[in-house]
Amino acid sequence: MSWLRTPRVFLAPGLILIVVAIGGRFTLDRAGYPDLAWVDLRVVGLLVALAVLIVDVARRPHPSLQTRKEGWLVATMLFFLFQIASALWAPPASRVGPQTLDLVLMGALVVAFYVYAVGDPDAVVRTAFLLFYIAAIIFALAALFINGPGEQGRYSAFGGGPNVFVRIEILGIISAVALALFTRRLLPLLATPLFGLAAVLSGSRAGLLAGAAVGAVALFKIRRKLHPGAIAGALAFVTVAVATIWAFAPPAFTNLFQERFVEQTVQDRYLSDRTDIWAAAWRLAVEHPLAGAGLDGFYGLIGVNQIVEYPHNYVLGVAAEGGLIGIGLLAAAILLWTTTVRGGGHRPQLTGLAVAAAVFVGLSSLFSGDYYDSRLAWMFAAMAAAAATVPARVREEVPV
């Protein structure tokens, strides 16, 4: 794997940025230091990553200037800036400070990862999938052997919620497929039963559905390239994986599967009150059609009384708190990004894998999570854009 031995970019910026993105919100009070609750490790990590990235950019080769499609990035930053500005008309109960910090950090993550990726998309995207593969293994083992099930019997790791946990595990499956394609070996796929078991134990129906949807679309796109032998091998592998999961899964697995997926979903059609929350967000959007209720306006007007943190739908949240202006900016960013990555550009395989990861997190954000929980979608979108637009070039040995 020469792409790990002779990278054109430093490994450190990407490693720190991914750790910051995966780590989520982490202040020192969660580590047992209540007097230092004001120290947000995301800020510390991001500052270190930016410092190393500046050094990396300064020592990179400087090829002739080439035009890249970066309108999507401009539209994305305008969208984030509008969301921050909407704090000016947010209701008094809104948590403007924390939400503003989340958006500033997310914008910085997206820009930093894009600047990092354009230096060498091949190395950056492949290394990112390797790191997410390792992270998925660590999270799965921690959930199974350290954290265990929560109050609802759902598994997660390192203090994060089940809906975040399932995203890491499904991204682990996508990363396993990516590594298998990069190395042309099946060894990375051996961890997919672990990822699948952990994803099911999260109890996140929306995350599993989003993963299944992305997988189905990917199979449909490559249907003409599939050989009967490969299909038979894949079916045999899935059968063995399911049998292995069923045989070695903890006792809580069957109970969770029966209660969460069969009784609540199929028999009772229970959706965790999502429809009521979405209806409330829609009413707020109708009542504030142009510029929305302002940053965190959903919590400030509705959630503070009903103990609901956010709308659990990224688009509805933007509509309720940003109105038509927010939705328009978001739609412009997505449309411009889609035209940028369409067809795969200079690296169809890398671009397609990064797009699959971004779309998966984006679909998951339609059912759970707040604005900051969408950060992985934006990061993979940045990697996909870099992979599609930066021309391939001759590799050079650069010491690291």
Best CA proximity match to 250, nearest among 194, 327, 180:
194
What are the residue ranges of helices labelled H in the chain?
A: 2-5, 12-23, 41-59, 71-85, 96-119, 121-142, 162-183, 192-201, 205-221, 228-248, 251-256, 274-287, 297-298, 304-306, 314-341, 348-364, 375-389
Q: Are 375 and 21 in contact (CB under 8 A)?
A: yes
Q: Are 82 and 325 in contact (CB under 8 A)?
A: yes
Compute the distance between CA of residue 24 and CA of residue 164 in angstroms, rounded to an integer. Answer: 9
Residue with tokens 């870099």: 386
pLDDT in tens, 119-130: 899 999 999 999
pLDDT in tens, 57-99: 887 766 544 567 899 999 999 999 999 999 999 999 999 999 9
Task: Look up residue 371 and give its amino acid.
Answer: Y
How large is the average pLDDT for residues 163-182?
94
Compute the distance between CA of residue 370 and CA of residue 100 in angstroms, rounded to an integer. Answer: 13
C-alpha 48, offset from chain centre = 22
pLDDT in tens, 360-380: 999 999 998 899 999 999 999
Q: What percent of the chain has a predicted confidence (pLDDT) above 90?
A: 52
Position 314 pLDDT exceeds 90: yes
Q: What is the pLDDT of residue 27?
A: 72
Mean pLDDT, the chain, rounded, equals 84
How large is the average pLDDT for residues 377-390?
95
Return left, alpha or beta for 64; rule: phi > 0 is left, psi -120 to 50 is alpha, else beta.
beta
Residue 272 pLDDT level (bands cut at 50, 70, 90): low
Q: What is the pLDDT of residue 348?
A: 93
Position 250 pLDDT exceeds 80: no
Per-range mean pLDDT, top range of 238-242, 309-313, 373-377: 373-377
Q: What is the pLDDT of residue 10?
A: 82
Domain ranges of the chain: 2-59+70-389
Residue 100 pLDDT level (bands cut at 50, 70, 90): very high
Prediction pTM value: 0.88
Q: Are 33 and 215 in contact (CB under 8 A)?
A: no
Angle at 310 between CA 306 and CA 311, to 5 degrees: 95
